[in-house]
Amino acid sequence: MNAHIPSRKFGLAVAQIGGIDLADSRASVVRRLLDMLREAHGRGAGFVVFPELALTTFFPRYWMPLEDVEARYFEKKMPNADVQPLFDEARRLGVGFYLGYAELTPEGKRYNTSILVDKSANIVGKYRKIHLPGHDDHKAGAPFQHLEKKYFDVGEDTWKVWNMDGIRTGMCLCNDRRWPETWRVMGLQSAELIVLGYNTPAHNIHWPEPVHLRMQSHLLSMQSGAYQNCVWAAAAGKTGFEDGFHLIGGSVIVSPAGEIVAQAATEEDEVITATIDLAMGENFRKNIFDFARHRRPEHYRLIVDRVGAGEAI
């Protein structure tokens, strides 16, 4: 590491959640989150990443009337009575966190949402998922559905970067991690840390795909995104079996070198931690990926002018 870039070390944790069944209450899930928040604090972490849709089962696998989905799975307020204990304990411990949940706005819009909460338990950032996967029709022959396009609206705002307790932090959700544009938009805002949650089915309903390849694409997305954008990256999964449906694990912390420095070993509630040095990303930004010196956006127009693949130019 270059001596002229001072170290900026920080304790980071990822809290992976084992399966949440349909019958599990929000209060019971929050108790599990509290246990992991306390464990992370005890291991020296100042920030904890929780998964996407962390308060409920992954309900987009089920075909249901919209009014039933809204009543059962969406949050009209954050924090609400069920989640307030997590905010209270985070404030007491002085630990920030990222949390994913289903949001219902006063205008009736439905979003797959995540928030950044600082160590004083203030919500400093909100993101609404842009890359919604799956379908909006009923796949009668499929073993399960993937109905994010039915149950959620596309987020209107692009990916942003916030000052979260002195760290330039961006966030995204699940499928976003597979798209290089997600990472680059935040990289161009000088992000130092990108955090995300995910719920990734172990089985592909579109074609046969071995589980190890599902894991490989997840890790590849995390490692390449971190490396190519000079950021630390942390991803928290919901994993294991939810009412018989399998989700992959593989929650990770990845360095700006693309190296996995911590990875979950189970498909249960599990906390992983790492002491990260934010100066490491600065070395990459000043050398290998000096965007201002080396990028040539005049040659990238096709990326924004064309949505789908087309003819050669």
Q: Rounded to an integer, what distance in angstroms lies between the CA atom of residue 104 and that of residue 46?
A: 29
- Please state, in angstroms and rounded to a whole number, the distance separating the CA atoms of residues 31 and 122: 20
The amino acid at 171: M
Instruction: Pick the closest to residue 103 from 79, 76, 130 (CA basis).
Output: 76
At 112, list the tokens: 């797959």
**Does residue 234 contact residue 228 with C-beta atoms inside 8 Å?**
no
Assess whether 174 carries a catalytic annotation: yes
**Catalytic pick from 52, 89, 103, 148?**
52
Positive/negative CA dihedral, 218, 119, 162, 123: positive
**CA neighbor of 13 nearest in space, from 205, 276, 308, 312:** 276
Question: Which helix (H) or strand (E) segment is 96 a member of?
Answer: strand 96-104
Decide if 145 contacts 61 (C-beta within 8 A): yes
**Over the Cα atoms of the chain, what is R_g?**
19
Catalytic residue among 89, 103, 129, 242: 129
| Helix orientation angle between 84-93 and 26-42, rounded to the nearest 10 degrees | 10
**129 catalytically annotated:** yes
Tell me which of 174, 192, 267, 270 is the catalytic residue: 174
Q: What beta strand segments (E) does 26-90 contain?
A: 47-49
What amino acid occupies position 128? Answer: R
Find where tokens 């992954």 sit.
58
What letters, b where the CB count within 10 A reaches 16 and e where it falls short, cover 175-187?
bbbbeeebbbbbb
Beta bridge partners of 40: none
Q: Which residues are known catalytic residues? A: 52, 129, 174
